[in-house]
Structure 1
Amino acid sequence: MHENTRTSPHPPSTGPSAAHAASERIQLRRALTLTLMTLVMPGSAQIVTGNKRIGRIALRIWLGCLAVGALMLVLALTSRSGLFMLFTDGRILTPVRYALIGGAVFWMVLIVDAWRLGQPLRLARRHRFWVAGLNGALCFVTAGAMFFAAHLVDVQTGVLDTVFAASTTSKPVDGRYNVLLMGTDSGKDRSGMRPDSINVASIDAETGRTVIVGLPRNLEDVPFPSDSFMKKEFPSTFDCDGCYLNAVNTWANDNAAQMGVKKVGHRTPGIQATIDAVEAITGLDLNYYALVNMAGFSDLIDAVGGVSVDVQERTAIGGIGSPIRGYIEPGRQKLTGDQALWYSRSRVLNNDFSRMGRQKCVMTAMLRELSPKKVLLNVEKIADSSKTLLDTDIPARDLNVFMDLALKAKAQPISSVSLVPPVIFTGNPDYDKVRSLITKAIDKAEGKKQAKDGILAASLSVPSSAGDAKDPTKANQSDDLDSSC
């Protein structure tokens, strides 16, 4: 009797080679696990199989970082202004920068040590390259991200030290912050610095609801308050030859020495004189000023990828002391920095009052489009442009307040009232009427009951240009700039 015995052509291996392969897999898993543990929870690999003291130090630091992150999340949900304060306080940012650099080096050392604890020489030759490559990549990514974050913190600190170096803070007046905004292009072909645009942003300190007051640069017979140093030379009004509102800055700076007037803080005699004049014109107490350089304005818009504007009239590029080199045609489009600059300042084919309306539309578009995400993604470009863009006496300590108000303002309508014909005649302005218009515009923005004299209603019903459905001058008097622009 014969038994049929079947033998497998490939009997299962139970010899040394199978055991060796299993050992290689275990060794590879161990090396990868230690590396990933260090990535997810720095110090954990050292606690499991290494220098437990170093591991505990690293783990405590990591848990501290998580606690700080949780605190920032709570601040973001409960006190956005408090969170912004952390990001704009140089006393906090400087140690954070050094902590990021130190943390990057320490984390990189832990990842390399995790590779060592994985016993790379015991790995199969084909596994060594992949494990070493993974560790190297993690070192590059983690340390690189933290070094880059430290660089951004350094950039932020530089902007705070350069642009927002003032130290004097100002409280809101009657529940509002009033900020003088001036745009200037002080090139070599200009004598002194004469602002091309002059506006006051009156911002509700609680809601962010904003009213923009536009002041023509050629406003005449400008008054000064009784405590202004300009009152000695111009006891009645600023009535010298060619003395318009935009000439106050140059005149005061040119004559400051003979009047014995010096720079006070960040305010030059010219800036202070302009603030005095605007306060007397509007009846508003100004908290701060911001002087925007046109070249820096163009760079800022390029830094954030342009700005979308509904162009309301054909506008020349160039033509102010230079040949016209192109046109911005009507229609909704994304403008580059150069185009937005010329759309805001050109008056070759139109006039100053049209330009004032276009400026308000560009300002509104910038407010609507600038988001925290866009700022974070372009922070270095924005920082570079800001150093040439802005001169201001807003201190870093108040930046958190204005950042929070800017976000609130994005969800609110923006009103405007401008001192332009036919409401106000710049050659013979009625300043009592001016102050009444501004008061009523602010009251209306705050939801207060309106007087029945009809002055504000009349001011917000300026006739359009003949046959032109899109008239940029409508933005000079508007309850909602979004609808007018």
Structure 2
Amino acid sequence: MPPATPSGAHQMRFTTLDRAQRVRFRRAVTLMLMTLVLPGSAQLVSGNRRTGRIALRTWATLVVLGLGTLVASFFFHGVAFWAGTNTMVLQGLRIALMVLAVGWAYLFVDAWRLGQPLSLRRQHRLAIVGVNGFLCFSVAGALLFGAHVVGVQRDFMISMFGNGTAVGAHQGRYNVLLMGGDAGAGRWGLRPDSMTVASIDAETGKTVLISLPRNMQNFPFAEGSVMAEQFPDGFDEEGMYLNGLATWALDHAALFKGSKNPGVDATIQGVEGITGLKMNYWAMVNLEGFKDLVDAVGGVELNVRQKIPVGLPSDSFFHYIEPGKRTLNGADTLWFARARYDSDDYSRMARQKCVMGAMLQQVSPQTAVTNFQKIARASEAMVSTDIPRGEVDTFVDLALKARNQKIATLSLVPPMINTANPDIALVQQKVAAAIARAEGVKPPAQETAEAAPAEEAPPTEAPATDAPAEETPAAKPSPPAPVAPQSVTGGSVGSMAEGYAANESEDLGAVC
């Protein structure tokens, strides 16, 4: 019979084994945490040192590049915009993130192996597997999701923007023709429902929105253009308006040799002839798809001044957007911008400007990042444009600058302009004056003279009197003239007869 083991010795042996198990468990956890903080450090301490050195050097290089990019982006925003819009950079980043995800996952698995899990107790072994699995899938999953987002951005850049040649600013400004049209078979891009020129200062981002009514007639075209050759005396085609240029051009596409978008080209030639501005680029907005973009950013807040109908009374979904500050979803925002029931075209143009201004001010970079995939999907279905990919970073930078500036507006509508027989000299004078005011330059002399109040007659000399000066009737101040309240028609301040405030303003936000 073997001698009995003293109970003290048994207890000491159990305590020693337990302490050793806890040390091994802590060591295994430490190796995984080291891999999380400094990838490769676990291998450098307990495994293949060559693998550890490669991983640590790679990690150090990535950290330096990342910090350098952040610092450069902080001082030069264009660096981040360039990196975020360059498809080659995006593809390289996407591949790098995927490789990093696989490599980091391998380091976690190797750190688990170095922790000698088979030497641990069952509960410690299960805990180590759980911790390792959580860290491995969390880090690799985050990196793979980042690669997916980068891929979405790259696909968006490829599908949205082309490889066209960049066009320099004209007289220090980029002029972009924004057109809105209905989606649907045979309609996309044919008859623009709205036309607005965004004239943007190439340095400051200061923007002037110049809207043209779709029913303008008898206007000239840019000199030397195809349309000018066909209509040397102006567009006097019977029964057709400015928004019909696209249809006319598609019916005569042979005249526009080599053009991918003859309808757009004809419209641009008309807009240039009317405004006197040279267009850099164009963008066609699918108005039905616009509501998806509004929904993607969580809606837009608008000041609804009067009940706006959604649909027609015969529609099953017909209702009114009630007055007040409202956060509207995509469908209601679209109707706010387009409704003409109980309204008119010029009120609608004013409301469309308010929507543009609100979107620019309210869609922050944070909103864009958090809703990126939704915005990208909505934008691909919403916009067609000839802005080249190489210019996107420039316009993103200008858009961020424009958010901190007042947006000026000008609409070439009655009562200022007769759309049936427009005074083109007056139109171009008004356009030049609006841009000059936006740039802080004194408007042309003609505009100043036209806008200046009539000069008051010089005061006549008062007869001599012994009365104190304050008792002289001429010295008493006249009471202030009463201020007429602004009318609201069709949901916009003003009326067609007197002009809508949002259609001509130096601060769009103040009148919306």
TM-score normalised by structure 2 residue count: 0.87
Match of 1:74 in 2: 71
Residues 1:480 and 2:507 are matched in the alignment = yes
User: How far does residue 186 in structure 1 lie from its aligned partner after superposition?
Assistant: 3.8
**Aligned match of 1:272:** 265
Structure 2 match to 1:231: 228
Which residue of 2 is the match for residue 262 of structure 1?
Answer: 257
Q: Which residue of 2 aligns with 1:139?
A: 136
Distance 1:384 1:102 in 2: 26
8 Å Cα contact 1:184/1:195 also seen in 2: yes
CA distance in 2, matches of 1:197, 1:397: 27
Matched, 1:211 2:227: no
Judging changes above 3 Å, is the alpha-carbon distance between structure 1 residues 34 and 190 closer, same or farther for their aligned structure 2 residues? Answer: closer
Does structure 2 retain, via aligned residues, the 8 Å contact 1:357–1:476? Answer: yes
Tell whether the 8 Å contact from 1:177 to 1:204 is kept in structure 2 after alignment.
yes
Q: Could you say what secondary structure the match of 1:15 adopts?
A: helix
Deviations 1:277-332 (A, max 9, x none): 11111111111001000122111111111111111222111239967722212111
What's the counterpart of residue 477 of structure 2? none
Which residue of structure 2 aligns with residue 22 of structure 1?
19
Give the Å deviation of 1:13. Answer: 9.3
The amino acid that maps onto 1:236 is D
**Relative to structure 1, is the Cα distance of residues 467 and 344 closer, same or farther in structure 2, using a 3 angstrom cutoff?**
closer
**Structure 1 residues 347 and 324: CA distance shift in structure 2, 3 A:** farther
Amino acid at match of 1:79: F
Deviates more, 1:321-330 or 1:210-219: 321-330
Q: 2:291 aligns with which of 289, 295, 298?
A: 298
Residues 222 and 244, structure 1, Cα contact 8 Å, conserved in 2: no
Which residue in 1 is equivalent to 2:116? Answer: 119
Tell me, in whole angstroms, the C-alpha distance in 2 between the residues paired with 1:57 and 1:263.
54
Stretches of structure 2 that go unaligned for 5 or more consecutive residues are: 1-6, 453-483, 495-499
Match of 1:287 in 2: 280
Q: 1:12 to 1:262 in 2, by over 3 A?
A: farther
1:224/1:277 contact within 8 Å kept: yes
1:124 is displaced (CA, Å) by 2.1
> Are 2:152 and 1:151 equivalent residues in the alignment?
no
Q: Secondary structure at the match of 2:505?
A: coil
Partners of 1:191 and 1:216 in 2: how far apart?
19
* Offset of residue 463 of structure 1: 9.6
The 1-side partners of 2:351 and 2:107 are apart by 57
Cα deviation digits, residues 198-248 of structure 1 (max 9, x gap): 000011111111000011111111211221111232111111122211111
Determine if contact 2:308/2:491 at 8 Å carries over to the other structure. Answer: no
- Name the aligned partner's letter for residue 273 of structure 1: A
| One-letter amino acid of the structure 2 residue matched with residue 102 of structure 1 | V
Partner of 1:7: none
Range moving further from structure 2, 53-62 or 187-196: 187-196
Matched-pair contact (CA < 8 Å) for 2:182–2:193: yes
Rg (Cα) greater in structure: 2
Quickly say closer, same or farther: Cα 1:433–1:325, change in 2 above 3 A.
same
Q: Is the 8 A contact 1:441 1:456 kept in 2?
A: no
Q: Structure 2: how far apart are the matches of 1:76 and 1:456?
A: 47
Deviates more, 1:443-452 or 1:430-439: 443-452
1:104 touches 1:143 (CA, 8 Å); kept in 2? yes
Deviation of 1:449 after TM superposition, in Å, equals: 1.9
Q: Distance in 1 between matches of 2:232 and 2:85?
A: 43
User: Deviation of residue 362 (structure 1)?
Assistant: 0.4
State the distance in 2 between where 1:466 and 1:394 align.
Answer: 38
Measure the CA separation in 2 of the matches of 1:133 and 1:193: 60
Structure 1 residue ranges (4+ consecutive) displaced by more than 6 angstroms after TM superposition: 10-14, 466-469
**Equivalent residue number for residue 470 of structure 2:** none
Q: Which amino acid aligns with 2:60?
A: L
CA distance in 2, matches of 1:230, 1:150: 48
Q: In structure 2, what is the Cα distance between the partners aligned to 1:466 and 1:311?
A: 11
Q: Does 1:108 align with 2:105?
A: yes
Q: Which secondary structure does the structure 1 equivalent of 2:318 belong to?
A: strand
Which letter maps to 1:308? E
Q: Which amino acid aligns with 2:405?
A: Q
Distance 2:314 2:72 in 1: 51
The alignment covers a number of residue pairs equal to 471
User: Cα deviation per residue 1:423-452 (whole Å; 9 max; x = unaligned)?
Assistant: 112112111111111111111111112345
Q: Partners of 2:314 and 2:258 in 1: how far apart?
A: 32
Separation in structure 2 between the aligned mates of residue 53 and residue 191 of structure 1, nearest angstrom: 60
Deviations 1:235-288 (A, max 9, x none): 11111122211111111111112x3x2343xx5111111111111111111110
- 1:332 maps to 325
CA offsets, 1:396-419, max 9 Å, x none? 111110111111000000000110
Higher mean C-alpha deviation, range 316-325 or range 437-446: 316-325
What secondary structure does 2:51 align onto? Answer: helix
2: CA distance, partners of 1:192 / 1:76: 37
Aligned to 2:493: 471
- How far, CA to CA, are the matches of 1:50 and 1:11 in structure 2? 38
- Residue deviations 1:372-421 (CA, integer Å, cap 9, x gap): 11111111111111111010001111111011111100000000011011
Closer, same or farther in 2 for the Cα pair 1:457/1:312, shift >3 Å?
farther
Return the alpha-carbon distance in structure 2 between the equivalents of residues 469 and 269 of structure 1.
36
Give per-residue Cα distances to partners, 1:137-180, cap 9 Å, x unaligned: 11111111111111111111111111112321111111111100
Aligned-residue Cα RMSD (Å) equals 2.5
The verdict on how the C-alpha distance between 1:116 and 1:152 changes in structure 2, with shifts beyond 3 A counting, is same
Amino acid at match of 2:231: F
Deviation of the 1:58 alpha carbon: 1.1
State how far apart, in whole Å, the 2-side matches of 1:19 and 1:135 are. 27
Single out whichever of 63-72 and 30-39 deviates more from structure 2. Answer: 63-72
8 Å contact from structure 1 (residues 464, 474) kept in 2: no
Conservation of the 8 A alpha-carbon contact between 2:492 and 2:502: no
Alpha-carbon offset, residue 457 of structure 1: 4.5
Contact 1:169 1:395 in 2 (8 A): yes
Task: State the secondary structure of the residue aligned to 2:112.
Answer: helix
Q: What's the counterpart of residue 421 of structure 2?
A: 428
- Aligned AA for 1:82? V
Give the match for residue 418 of structure 1.
411
Aligned residue for 2:149, secondary structure, equals helix
Whether 1:34 and 2:31 are equivalent positions in the alignment is: yes
The answer to whether the Cα contact below 8 Å between 1:437 and 1:456 also exists between their aligned partners in 2 is no
CA offset digits 1:72-110 (Å, max 9, x no partner): 112212210121101100111112111111111111111
Report what 1:58 is aligned to: 55
Give yes or no for contact 2:306–2:491 (8 Å, CA) kept in 1. no
Could you tell me which amino acid in structure 1 is paired with residue 406 of structure 2?
A: P
Q: Which runs of 5+ in 1 are unaligned?
A: 1-9
Q: What is the one-letter code of the residue matched to 1:426?
A: T
The normalised TM-score by structure 1 is 0.92
State the one-letter code of the partner of 1:403: V
Q: For residues 350 and 71 of structure 2, what CA distance do their matches in structure 1 show?
A: 41
